[in-house]
Amino acid sequence: MNGILKAGAMIALAVLCCGFLPGCGERSAERKIRSEAKSYIKEKYGFSPEITGFEFRHVGEMELNSHKKDAGYVTMTHDGREFKAYISPKDPDVNCDNFMQKDVDDRLAAYFREQLDCQDIAVETTYGSFIRCGVPADIRSYEELFAGCDNICIYVSAYALDREKVSALDVSKLGKTTEVTLVECHSASDLQDEKLWEKAAVWRHDNGGGEYGAMFHAYYYFHDGEAEIIEK
């Protein structure tokens, strides 16, 4: 009887350990990724961020090893700015962050305001990998971004454009592979529409008509020396 009880206790202990070990492994992996994220930012920008959030990058979800996590997304703040980093301890060459995103968008907005002589301008960008606007450790400035990143897309929304200024716009200065989409909205308030670019895509598909026919006056797409123009 004692042998049966001992065997049962051993089995229960084994089951309990199996339940705890994956959790312990995840906590250890999370601590490592968090620590490497802070070191990565400190080395790249020279400041120590505050970590406010974390999420594993799940791998092998359809396989038996779905509990393994080899990288993560770390949300951080510094001087009131929130940003993210993607950190992979096993493959640090793919580490990236989007701390620069606001600086890049602000500088592009200033550039287009000057080039188009228009103050009602809003800019959004996408580039990089793993996270939106995520750039690697060797890209630390606006100039390095446009010299070293080949998948930059710039979305510019404006109100009351001068079309002669649009015709003179030289987007080649923003990189040969950079894509620039510019729309002229019917009103300045439209620039704040959270679904503006979704609606602009529908307006483009409908060739300036359809459901959002009254929302836009013009649509311009520039890429690799070519331009697509829809004007009303």
SS3 content of the chain, % helix, strand, coil (to 5): 40, 30, 30
Residues in the chain, overall count: 232
Contacts of 71 (CB under 8 A, 6+ apart): 33, 56, 57, 59, 86, 87, 88, 89, 90, 91, 94
Beta strands in the chain (DSSP E): 50-58, 69-78, 81-87, 96-97, 121-126, 153-159, 179-185, 216-223, 226-231
Note the pLDDT of residue 68: 60
Note the pLDDT of residue 70: 86
Note the pLDDT of residue 15: 44
Note the pLDDT of residue 25: 74
Other beta carbons less than 10 A from residue 153's beta carbon: 13
Structure tokens at 215: 């929302």
Note the pLDDT of residue 58: 67
- In eight-state DSSP terms, residue 160 is S
Question: Mean pLDDT in each 10-residue stretch from start to end of the chain (232 residues)?
Answer: 50 47 76 98 98 84 58 97 97 97 98 98 96 97 95 98 95 92 97 97 96 96 94 93
The answer to whether the CB of 72 falls within 8 A of the CB of 54 is yes
In the chain, domain spans? 13-97, 101-231
